[in-house]
A and B are shown apart, each in its own frame.
Chain A
Amino acid sequence: MTASELIKTLSARLGVSQARARVVVESYVAGITRQLKEGNLVILRNFGTFGIKPVAEKRAYVPAKKSLCLIPAHAKLYFKPSEKLRAAASEAKPHE
């Protein structure tokens, strides 16, 4: 499902124009982004959790240079699906 399909479906279900549906999605995403930017954990019930977690420094192989490099410690955005979403996904029939 592409972003435009999402907006079309949403506009049909809410009974609003597609332009309005796009604004709703954009401000919803902006709200999540704003909370993540402050370092907060965003918990969407029955869907999942967005958060920022620290990653320790590690050695990694660079195939292009055939050498090793040191990746410094950093923080990474993650999404953890909720129990319900995970259960639904594991029962879904495989695609392709």
Chain B
Amino acid sequence: MAMTLITTNTSDGSASSDFTSSIDSTYKLYIFKMYNVNPATDSTHLKFQANAASQSGYNETITSTLFWAYHKEDNSGTPALAYVAGYDQAQGTSYHILSDGIGNDSDASLAGELYLFNPSNTTYVKHFQATTQIYGSGDQSINIFSAGYFNTTAAIDDIQFKMDSGNMDGVIKMYGVS
């Protein structure tokens, strides 16, 4: 398996991190690696959406799942492994949530990765899988596993990451795997 670094997006107080070129038939798998993603607004979620070729707007139809493992620094509450029904979608067109609320403390952040499979295919839906790890706004460690599919047979050629609200810092790298 050969992996090629295609694009590095560095956000510094940016509203979004957009990948609007190089998502094409060259690779069957695209991997997005996220480092030190820090929101300006406390307790906001990192999320992403796609735009299909020759269309406009990040609004593809998604059906998705999300579960997490959760633990607070002060051991308060109950550490848990849970499916999070409020963060999945059933034929929705909202952005897919990749995290719980990240803290905006100066040292709080998210790290993780998103796999997007065969985005240029025009026969099948487009699957994705993500694993993220965050320092939550409530001083908790949350390991988040989400997945789903874009319910479209159109090719996907744009991906956008952004926070629920406010700007973000961080680095997101896109790799192609052949």
* B partners with A: no
A interface residues, Cβ below 8 angstroms from B = none
List chain B positions with a Cβ less than 8 A from chain A.
none
